[in-house]
Structure formats: structure tokens, C-alpha cells
Amino acid sequence: MHERLLLDGNMAMVEAMRLCRVGVISAYPITPQSPVAEKLSEYVENGKLNAEYIRVESEHSALSCAIGAQLTGVRACTATSSVGLALMHEVLGVASGCRVPVVMGIINRALVAPWSLWCDHQDTMAERDSGWIQIYAKSVQEVFDSMVVAYRLAEHKDVQSPAMVCIDGFFLSHTSEVALIPSQEEIDDFLPPYQPCNAHLSVDNPMFVNNLIPSSEFCEMRYQQKEGLDHVKEVLPAIHAEFLEKFGREQFTVEQYCCEGADMVLVTIGSMFGAAMQAAGKLRKQGKKVGVLRIVLFRPFPYEIVGEILRDVPVVGVLDRSAGLGAQGAPLFTEVKTAAANPSTKFVSMVGGLGGRDLSTATMENAFSYLEDVYNGKADGKAQKWIDLKDNYGTLRLKNIGGNELCIK
Amino acid sequence: MIQIKIYGLGGQGVVTCGKILAHAFAINQKQFAQTIPAYGHERRGAPVNTSLILDEEPILTKTFVYQPDYVMVLDVSVVDRGIDIFEGTDEETVFLFNAPALPEFMKGRKNRAFFTDATAIARKNIKRDIPNTGMAGAFAAMEIISIEAVYSAIQYLFSEKGDGRNVKGARECFETIREG
């Protein structure tokens, strides 16, 4: 029987880790992840969680410890944000390459510079090709559910790849709302004890892990990782079905709102989905055929599903919460455009919500308004559209140095 | 859907005030609530605010409140610090102030406005000038959340039993809140 609690996203993540019986925690605090590290340590101290808590000196060590611990046959966990994840970059590849299915909570926060404590997706988007599964949550309930699903998916014998559950800093991590938290028995019934089924550390069966590999084998080992991620599309629907049956809540690979027969669809990711849906609902009442698609599983990217949904949509806007500097479109845009390669579709790359800027319903209405201009031929939509940019962007913080007027320009 | 914006200063428990009311409404009254704090570079004494939404149905949006039905002000000095507590409000917006009298700037406005001296009441009951539990009690006078639900939320969140000091403060604010 579940408990109905008021929780924020960080606490929902902690409850999932506790109920999934993590045995080793190694974490280094960073805003907005700190409450996760603090609550887990409190649970270990007061005996609510039977686990070893390793205090580490950096995120690099946090993930290194988690990998080492999990290789001994225990569920290990950590969580981080922003520059903490960037510092883990090297070690992310160790986890995925050694096929250690660690599940890590990521509280999305902008990367430097300028410094920001607040939400955007550049931290996780920068790690999109690290061989990790990436799931983006929309609500506090989904933070909990995604964590539970992620353990099953990552540890599946055909997948054996680590997973990040990505939650928007503050907009989910510090937002309190109602969440249903299952009992320990219910979770135990869904998630069996951890069993390593690939590389592991055992005195009875010693083996090399992460040793130097010549070119005669490296390529094949990388291909094994690709196959592991390829299996997600077969494995995940069954896990989602079992989750629905046991807990009564539908889980998504992608989530649609009014996409069928739509003239314009806005593709979203993370907590922005609700505001986009609300804006679309308002426009639908005015007779405008708009829809919203949410990408939940970003890695491995569900190309077939997205391609099928968007096949006949004339205008597709993709709203990234990261800039994708120097690319034709930001990361989510690039994937969506590749997935739905209909030559008659107009794709618009949109960027918004950087560094904690709120993607309000009004901002979403502006995004749809621009898509409508593209649909009606008033705008070509070819240039990247920054939907919540202020007009004074060109003069903000620019100084006249050494007689060079606006030297950055 | 009822949208509430709570303003105050870092250290006054603005974020917790939102959590008390959200807990009271969502858990004790078995409906739905969401509170999103707008954190700045956290420090004591700086203006902060939190957005609170109460609804009969699950709340989908994860964005701040822009058009509040109620504005709660835990420290009137936020107005002198450049915070526009009237942003997004209209004549229907109801104001609740932690103040011994209705602030001067409300004169001539058509809005309904209430006040209670939650700081003085907190000093008396909890021996600290933290007005959040008192103002949560005062909000019960708006008859959206029952005072009993507020008491239960305070008892749960503060691990307080029975008629504790925060519950007493909440009751006193609930009983003394006046329309100005």
C-alpha cells in the first residue's frame, strides 16, 4: 500500500534510492543536489537505510567509488549536478564501458560560464554520448517512478548500461507536490536484489576489469555497448507494462498531447511539458491544431517512435533547454530532425529556459505563435529561435575597453 | 485553481510557509498542491518568494505563479527593497500582511487586505521572530484551508506534538487577523 506524501524532487529521488536498497552511497554535495546527499547520509546515520556512506573529495571520486562498489555486487549510487557532472566526464565512460549499471540522479543545472545555480540541460546534454541511458522527468512522481524503472532497465542482462535520471534543478528538485510512494514489499516485488551478470570483482573468480585493450578488441567492446543500448527499445516497454500493472501509473518513452492530425507540434523535454500542454490546450480551444510531444528517454533516442508520431506534421518546433553552440540546432533538435526526416516538414530549433529562466505558459504561447508564423509562411523558421531572449542582449555587460567600442562584438 | 505568491526575507521561513500550506491542503485536505521556491543567491535578509498553487486536480505546470489570487507578505520591507508585490495582481487579488496595521501603500487600493502581527506573536510563542507558521494560520481565515489542517501540517513538518508553540502562534494569528 502506497503512502501519499508531499515531497520535492530531491526527496522523491532519495525515497527511490532507499526503497531500491542501495548498499553503497558515495556523494559530493553541490547545489541543487545537496539535499539528496544530505538526506541519504541522515538515513544511513539513523538506520533507515542499511548502506555504507563514503565521503569523497570530489565528483570524480564519487562515481569512481560507486563503480568499484557496484563491481563487488551491490547496488551503488550517487547524484550530482552541473560542473559536478562535468568533473565526472572521464569516469562516466568507465561505468558504461565496463558495463556497470549504476543509476545516478542528475539535478540539471547550467554549466559555467557565467556561474549559475539554476536549471538548464547543458550538463547532461554534454554527456549524451557517454554510453549512459538518459531519462528526463516531468514531475516529482515521475522522479520516483523513473528511478525505479531505471534500475530495472540498466541492470537488465541485455542492457547492462548505466542510467542517469535527469530532473530539472529547482523546478523539480525543490518543488514540493503530492507523490505516491509504494511500500518496501511492493518495490522488492518489482526490483529483485542486484546480481552482477558481467564484469565483477570476486576473489573466487578474479578477472581484469578496465585493462588496456589493443585495437584488436577495442572496437568490438564498443560495439557490445552499442548493442546493449539498442536492446533498450525491446526491454523498456515490458518494464513499463509491468510497472503499470504493479503500481497503476503509466510510464513513457515519449508522451504525446494532441499530436495526431496537428499542424504544429512543439517537442519538449523535462518539466517544461506541463506549461507547453497548458498553452496548447488554450490554443486548441481557439481552434488551432497544435500538439506537444515530450521526449522522456533521450538516450538511447527513440527514433522510430518519434519519426512515426511526427511523420505528417507540417511544422515541428523543438525546444531545447541548452544552447547547442555552433551547431545548426541544439541537441534535442538534431535528434528529432534526424528521427522525422520528412522533406516536407519544417523544423524549427528553439532555445529557452537557460540558467533557470522560467519557461512559463506565456513563453510557451510565444513559442506556438512563432510556429504559427512558420506554418502561415510569415517566417521561414530557418534560424534558431531563442524564445525568451531580452531585447538588450547585445549591450548587456559589454564594456568599452581600450577604445574598442563593444570589443566583444 | 488558486494561485498564491508569498514574499518575505531569507530566514523568515517563506519557503516553509509554502510547504505548510501545501501539506495542509494536499495531504490533510486530500487535494493537490505545489510549491516552487524562487531561490536567489541564498542569504539571510535578502528578499525571497515562493509560488504556491492549490487545485482539486493534479497540477501539470512546473512554473512560477504570475497572476496570484492571494499575496502573502511576511515582511513589508520587501517593498522598500524594490520588490513589486503588486506584479501580476488585479483588483480581485487579496493581500495578507504580517504587520501591526495595514501598510500605508494599500490606502486607496480597492483590494481586500488583511493583517496580523505575526512577528510579535512569534516572538511571544516561539521566542524567535520567524512569522511563517503564524502567517500559515492566518491564511486559514481565507477559508480555503481549514485551521485544523494547518495545525496538522505544522505538527508534521515541525515534529511538534499537540498544542505546541508553533500551533499556538498559528492559532493566535488566525484569531487576530483583521481586514483593513
Sign of CA dihedral B119, B132, B13, B99: negative
Please enumerate in sequence order all residues whose Cβ is within 8 A of that of A374, keeping only pairs 6 or more positions apart, or say none: A264, A315, A317, A346, A348, A380, A381
Instruction: Find the mean pLDDT for residues A220-229.
Output: 98
What's the pLDDT tens digit per position in A297-315? 999 999 999 999 999 999 9
Q: Which residues of A touch B62 (CB under 8 A)?
A: 138-139, 168, 171-172, 175, 271-272, 274-275
Q: Per-residue confidence of chain B (180 residues) as pLDDT tens digits? A: 999 999 999 999 999 999 999 999 999 999 999 999 997 776 788 999 999 999 999 999 999 999 999 999 999 999 999 999 999 999 999 999 999 999 999 999 999 999 999 999 999 999 999 999 999 999 999 999 999 999 999 999 999 998 999 999 999 999 999 998
- Contact, B71 vs B96, CB < 8 A? yes
Cα–Cα distance measured from residue B71 to residue B6, given in angstroms and rounded to the nearest whole number: 6
The answer to whether residue A399 scores a pLDDT higher than 90 is no
Reported as a single tens digit per residue, the pLDDT across A27-58 is 999 999 999 999 999 999 999 999 999 999 99
C-alpha cell at A51: 548502506
Selection from A268, A313, A274, A316 nearest residue A294 by Cα: A268
Average of per-residue pLDDT across A130-155: 98
A239 and A262 share one domain: no
- Compare all CA atoms of chain A with the CA of B60 and give the residue at the minimum distance: A274
CATH code for the domain in which residue A52 is found? 3.40.50.970
Looking at chain A, the whole-number percentage of residues with pLDDT higher than 90 is: 93
Q: Exposed e or buried b for every residue in A359-372, given b needs 16+ CB within 10 A?
A: bbbebbbbbbebbb
Q: For residue B19, give the nearest of A117, A139, A176 by CB distance.
A: A176
Whether A399 maps to a domain, the answer reads: no
ipTM of the complex: 0.96
Picking from A275, A382, A270, the residue whose alpha carbon sits closest to that of residue A322 is: A270
pLDDT of A9 > 80? The answer is: yes
* Cβ–Cβ gap B63/A175 under 8 Å: no
Q: How many CB atoms lie under 10 A from the CB of residue A265?
A: 30
Query: Residue A279 sits in which domain range?
Result: 254-393
A188 and A144 part of one domain: yes
Whether A409 is covered by a domain: the verdict is: no
Q: A interface toward B at CB cutoff 8 Å?
A: 4-6, 117, 138-139, 168, 170-172, 174-178, 271-275, 277-278, 358-362
Q: Are residue A275 and residue A193 in the same domain, yes or no?
A: no
CB contact under 8 A, A175 and B59: no
Query: Which three cell numbers, joined as nine digits, stand for A384?
Result: 534558431
Same-domain status, A320 and A239? no
Residues A228 and A295 in one domain: no
Give the pLDDT score at A409. 46
In total, how many domains does chain A have?
Answer: 2
The residue to which cell 535578509 is assigned: B45
Q: Tell me the pLDDT tens digit for each residue of A194-218.
A: 999 888 999 999 999 999 999 999 9
Are A197 and A289 members of one domain?
no
**pTM of this structure:** 0.97
Most B-contacting residue of A177, A249, A319 (CB-CB within 10 A), to test interface: A177
- State the Cα–Cα distance between residues A79 and A30, nearest whole angstrom: 9
Rounded percentage of chain A residues whose pLDDT exceeds 70: 97
Closest CA to A354 of A253, A254, A270: A270
CA nearest A276 in B: which residue? B61
Whether A186 and A210 share a structural domain: yes
A151-186 pLDDT, tens digit each = 999 999 999 999 999 999 999 999 999 999 999 999
Chains A, B: CB contacts under 8 A, how many?
71
Q: Is A205 in the same domain as A294? A: no
* Mutation target among B19, B31, B57, B62 for the A interface, most CBs of A within 10 A: B62
Q: Is residue A405 part of a domain?
A: no
Check pLDDT > 90 for residue A396: no
Q: Do residues A122 and A322 make contact, with C-beta atoms less than 8 angstroms apart?
A: yes
| 3-class DSSP state of B153 | helix
Say if residue A186 is in the same domain as residue A55: yes
Provide the mean pLDDT of chain A. Answer: 96
**Chain A residue with the nearest C-alpha to that of B20:** A6
State the pLDDT at residue A406: 55
Q: Considering CB atoms only, which of A4, A138, A359 is closest to B63?
A: A359
CA atoms within 13 A on the CB side of A271: 33
Q: pLDDT digits over A74-131, tens only?
A: 999 999 999 999 999 999 999 999 999 999 999 999 999 999 999 999 999 999 999 9
- Chain A: residue nearest B24 by CA? A6
Same domain, A314 and A379: yes
Same-domain check for residues A170 and A80: yes
Confidence band of A385 (pLDDT split at 50, 70, 90) = very high
Domain ranges of chain B: 2-98+111-179
- CATH number attached to the domain at B2-98+111-179: 3.40.920.10
HEC string of B42-68 equals CCCCCEEEEEEEEECCCCCCCCCCCCC
Instruction: Give the closest of B32, B39, B62 to A172, CB-based.
Output: B62
Q: In terms of domains, do A50 and A199 share one? A: yes
Test B26 with A6 for CB contact under 8 angstroms: yes
